[in-house]
Structure 1
Amino acid sequence: MTRMAAPVVRAETGGPGPSLGQLLAEIAGPLIDVLCTAPGGLAEPVRRAHIWDASDGDASSCGDLRAGDLVLAVGLVPASPQLSRLLTAARDAAVAAVAIRGLVNLAWVRTEAERLGVTVLVVPRELAWDQVHVRVRTLVATWPGGLGGAAPTSSDLYAVANTAAAALGGPVEIDDAALNLLAFSNLPGEIDELRTTSILTRIPPGDFLTWLRESGTAARLRRTTEPLRIDPPGSRPRLVIPVRAGIDVLGYVWVAEGDEPFGERHNHVLAEVARVVSAHLVREGVAEDRDHRRRGELLVAALEGNADVSVLAAQLDLRPDTVFNLVGFRIRTCWPDPSVDPFYVRKQLELRRELAGRPGAAAVVVGGQVYAVLPVRDRGPDDLGALAEEIITMIGNQLGCEVVAAINCTPHPFPGLFEARLEVDRALRLLAADPERAVATCAELRPRATLALLHELAQSRPQLLAGPIQNLIEIDRTRKTDYIATLRAYFDTASDLTEAARILFVHRNTLRYRLRRIRELCGLDLSDPVERLIAELQLRLLGGAASGAPETWAGVPDQRVSS
């Protein structure tokens, strides 16, 4: 079975609509598999998405097949004789391909399809048939030269808005599905407060959104396929139409009433504008998704130390000498749903102003942790602490998760992203074990992080921990003594006998006696600065193990698992 990560088109399409290879690359990325191909390969043009439902029988429905169809074989069961008849009819009709679910005997299907010369695709269960149908139909309709007419020649939605405003005689706005402003006309004309606020803030004012919801207008707008007139309180009348791709709403086009009252002409023109905007958003959205996925893959490779720096720089349209800050996020314990939650955090990061619209900025998930990669700006540092606090608060409120964030604000070039990530990971593990702290920079945690790095080294070289401290641990265990606690208090107070005795609730002379016994038992000379340094370092590296408790110094389970 061939995984469709990057379909290869063997020849140019010979007719309107995308080739099968182009269509697969755009609608599904790596989701849809190619089981086998006809002699024409993936260059066959797709002119229609055709649903073939097994529950409707096979004789009449097979007769509906046409050249260029992408046949969605709905309802087939394993080893169904209907599939054999469908493949034969598909060959006779010269369809582009037949798409099936992965429940049938794929080895038999491949043999039969190759014998007949039919391309067969395998759709995973998580991808609904109606999703495939809507996406194929939309792409075929909006493909340059396709059945739905040419795609827009300008990639600038502002040009579309200006052209629409001139034709409609009133100011035009184009929003996305969440009513975020994408573009607006700037032709001369009267504007009201609703339009002014929407342009300045990029979203409609709160009282207007409340009116949309409470008046039922928002629900009517989502259902309609025709222009809808609305009369917002205190504003000029609007004509609005959803921008759709099949049943999906991609956005909205609004026009405020001008000198000419709204009439049938306005309805017709606005519907045409919505069609053009739909084609634009579909094409731009597909390209953006594909580019975004590729950028994410390359950044993940950079964070894992496997990136081709020149390819990554070119893909992000950045100079190879660009330097970055890195912010990492992780859960204190474990994600409630590790297959969803980290990716939700990534999406929320992508919506922040620090990442949105900035070339090279991106958020990715690696090993269950989320990283925001931000190019360093010339005009002053970013407030990365505020960004981290905002995300942590929002995720806590929405998902009920305790998230921590570590900020590496030392500029790193592309090749340094791997080392930057290692620093962030150590800081994240320290923060996850500290219930009093949720956000910190790597610089603030550097002493503890250095100790963590030494601990990693000691795990692979246990001889670094050998010596008097390990002997004392064994003595405490077998004789039920407290020499390790004595040493810990002594080191924690910078060798201040009075303060250490107070902490241990013993007399100062008792503490002196214990320190002499430590020297007698294991040879540790605390008057030697080198021996004292090594002993304190070993004690801190051993952490909870030096007190007989489970080792907790690393805090929580490592979240770096494959994602």
Structure 2
Amino acid sequence: MDTRTLGELLDTLGEPALRLLTAPSGLTTPVTEVLLYDAHAPFPDRAPGALLLAVGVRAEAAGALVDEAAAARMAGLVVRGENGLSSEQGLASGEGPASGQEPSSGQRLASGQGPASGHGQGFADAVARARERGLALLTVDEDAAWHHVHLLLAGAVGARPSPAGGAALGDLFSLAGAVATAVGGATVIEDPRQRILAHSTIPGQPVDEPRRQGILGRQVPDSPENTEQYRVLFASHGPVRLPALSAEELPRLAVAVRAGGETLGSLWVVDDGTLAPDAEEALAQGASTAALLLLRARAAQELSRHLTGDLLRRLLDGTAEPATAAERLGLAPGTPVRVAAFALEGAAGAPDGEQAALRLLDLVRLQCEARYGRHACVLVDGVVYALLPGTYGRAGERQRRLAEDIVRRAGQALRVPVRAGLGDVVPEVAEVRGSREDADLVLRVLGPEETVAAMADVRPRAVLLRLTELLGERRELAAGAWRDIVAYDAGHGTDYARTLVCWLDAGCDMARAARLLAVHPNTCRYRLRQARAQLGIDLDDPDERLVLWLQLRTLAGLRGAGA
């Protein structure tokens, strides 16, 4: 496996996840592993190439730790920094990439000319000491969770990740085979939801019908008896022997897979009475290896989500190169796509609004991945965007049903109303920005009783909203007879403007206009005659009628039909 360099990690994660203060040995420094600092554990004597996450240590207090990390020949030290640390402090003299290479946005180095703005002498001393000792010094934001930083870095260092931790999951199949050989029975590895992640294929080992069905469906069949066995298994601290649940089933030897007190899954072996004498010990050893592989798979998946989310963000704002983005997202050239936008109603300004939006992101991602596998979702300014495979015509109802399901589930889980807008299907990734604008517009025009809509459902409202914005921005478009009509009504107590709108909404049908106004048709005719006479408008001119209607509907905000 190729070793990642410090520069590659910064390009992969970027700001604000990780900020570089100094890198005396340059950005090509290899990073071999990621370690967590424990103040109560012995410090490693040698850990060449390691990146140490100094949990609980701030930059200004990192001086002694810098010395220890440098003595152990570590590649770098990551400490808690401060929000707002400038990424534009320039390159320190003699540091960073080779001459002629420009650093990426995540590769800025502290200038070394005294403390950075807003930082004390302790901060500057730590940077200076790291530079003197040849150790890279990096910071994470105040709000960053150490476990999240560890997951991202471990995934980036441990592998050039496949879409969803595929390399680690492939290793799980190898592990299942090795455990089956050592224990002497057919083996499966499951996640905490009883989904089968990997299984052995050793010739001659019996597999009963329930196990066969579980492997075919990638899911353990649900039953009260199964639930009880899982309860017993997860309450145990070691391998347990479980009886057969039916005449067609064989007994099992099983063990929970744990790491740091968290249950990651389980290993199950079919027990036909011929297991090895040391089967329980071999299975426990297999569980330890499975824990490492499952953590690696999770880290790779988390990294993949982070990278695809960042890629989608750049697609949405039009800064990503479409062909490269499509390839990285696994989309064939010319694949139609559409953007779905999900927003919490009235939660943006709430104290826990940001946390609720992150939970909404998790819910949307989970539902999309369950239907489409690897998927790109991202949270931008309180709105969760998902890139959906686009289909035209009635087949597009699948995305609507998905959006309705997400809105229902999210509303129940978060106890906050959730609304969704579906942008138009666009023929390729290069036009994703337009579909995002559609989805945002749908959210803006949804009625009080509407929770999900596609652009096709609300296009007239969307067009009128855009026209309102356009007319209001241009002086020549906002001028016209409509202002005189509204002013005349205000000064004389008449209702000419609303009468005109109702008449035009009714297709110039006097009887329908009168019903909208709840007046006699003769009253409607009289008002229109007076409007012509007093204000000089020409209602026989179709162009004047069209412009007048648009301006009264948009700029004056009047509406007849459905009012």
If the length of structure 2 is used for normalisation, what is the TM-score? 0.76
Indicate the residue corresponding to 2:416 in structure 1: 401
Structure 1 residue 457: Cα displacement: 1.8
Distance in 2, Cα, partners of 1:278 & 1:403: 37
Q: Please tell me the residue identity of whatever aligns with 2:526.
A: Y
Structure 2 vs 1, CA of residues 510 and 290 (structure 1 numbering), >3 Å: closer, same or farther? Answer: same
Q: Please tell me the residue identity of whatever aligns with 1:323.
A: P
Say which of 17, 22, 36 aligns to 2:22: 36
Paired residues of 1:194 and 1:205 also in contact (CA < 8 A): no
Q: Please tell me the residue identity of whatever aligns with 1:205.
A: D
Structure 1 residue runs of 5 or longer lacking an equivalent are 1-11, 145-150, 548-552, 554-563
Structure 2 vs 1, CA of residues 311 and 45 (structure 1 numbering), >3 Å: closer, same or farther? Answer: closer
Structure 2 residue runs of 5 or longer lacking an equivalent are 83-119, 161-165
Q: Please tell me the residue identity of whatever aligns with 2:360.
A: V
Distance in 2, Cα, partners of 1:248 & 1:334: 32
Structure 2 vs 1, CA of residues 76 and 202 (structure 1 numbering), >3 Å: closer, same or farther? Answer: closer
Q: How does 1:164-313 map to 2 (within 5 A)?
A: 164-185=179-200, 189-193=206-210, 196=213, 199-200=216-217, 202-205=219-222, 207-208=224-225, 210-211=227-228, 216-217=231-232, 220=235, 224=237, 226-231=238-243, 234=246, 236-260=250-274, 265-313=278-326
Say which of 447, 454, 458 aligns to 1:441: 454
Paired residues of 2:309 and 2:376 also in contact (CA < 8 A): yes
Counting matched residue pairs gives 508
Paired residues of 1:322 and 1:413 also in contact (CA < 8 A): yes
Determine helix, strand or coil for the equivalent of 2:448.
coil
Indicate the residue corresponding to 2:163 in structure 1: none
Indicate the residue corresponding to 2:542 in structure 1: 529
Determine helix, strand or coil for the equivalent of 1:449.
helix
Structure 1 residue 321: Cα displacement: 1.9
Distance in 2, Cα, partners of 1:444 & 1:42: 53
Determine helix, strand or coil for the equivalent of 2:170.
coil
Q: Percent identity?
A: 31
Q: How does 1:352-391 map to 2 (within 5 A)?
A: 352=367, 356-358=371-373, 361-376=375-390, 381=395, 383-391=398-406
* Residues 355-411 of structure 1: per-residue CA shift (max 9 Å, x gap): 65546x422333322222223479993511211110011011111222222334534
Structure 2 vs 1, CA of residues 269 and 465 (structure 1 numbering), >3 Å: closer, same or farther? Answer: same
Paired residues of 2:21 and 2:138 also in contact (CA < 8 A): yes
If the length of structure 1 is used for normalisation, what is the TM-score? 0.76
Paired residues of 2:390 and 2:425 also in contact (CA < 8 A): no
Deviates more, 1:316-325 or 1:91-100: 91-100
Determine helix, strand or coil for the equivalent of 1:340.
helix
Q: How does 1:85-234 map to 2 (within 5 A)?
A: 85-102=64-81, 105-127=122-144, 155=170, 157-185=172-200, 189-193=206-210, 196=213, 199-200=216-217, 202-205=219-222, 207-208=224-225, 210-211=227-228, 216-217=231-232, 220=235, 224=237, 226-231=238-243, 234=246
Q: Answer yes or no: is 1:317 the counterpart of 2:330.
A: yes
Q: Please tell me the residue identity of whatever aligns with 1:369.
A: V
Distance in 2, Cα, partners of 1:372 & 1:217: 39
Structure 1 residue 311: Cα displacement: 1.3
Paired residues of 2:210 and 2:221 also in contact (CA < 8 A): no
Q: Please tell me the residue identity of whatever aligns with 1:517.
A: Q
Q: Please tell me the residue identity of whatever aligns with 2:232.
A: T
Structure 1 residue 456: Cα displacement: 2.6
Structure 1 residue 298: Cα displacement: 2.1
Structure 2 vs 1, CA of residues 390 and 279 (structure 1 numbering), >3 Å: closer, same or farther? Answer: same
Pairwise CA RMSD: 4.1
Indicate the residue corresponding to 2:101 in structure 1: none
Paired residues of 1:169 and 1:258 also in contact (CA < 8 A): no
Structure 1 residue 435: Cα displacement: 2.0
Paired residues of 2:311 and 2:320 also in contact (CA < 8 A): yes
Structure 2 vs 1, CA of residues 489 and 232 (structure 1 numbering), >3 Å: closer, same or farther? Answer: farther
Indicate the residue corresponding to 1:9 in structure 2: none
Determine helix, strand or coil for the equivalent of 2:21.
strand
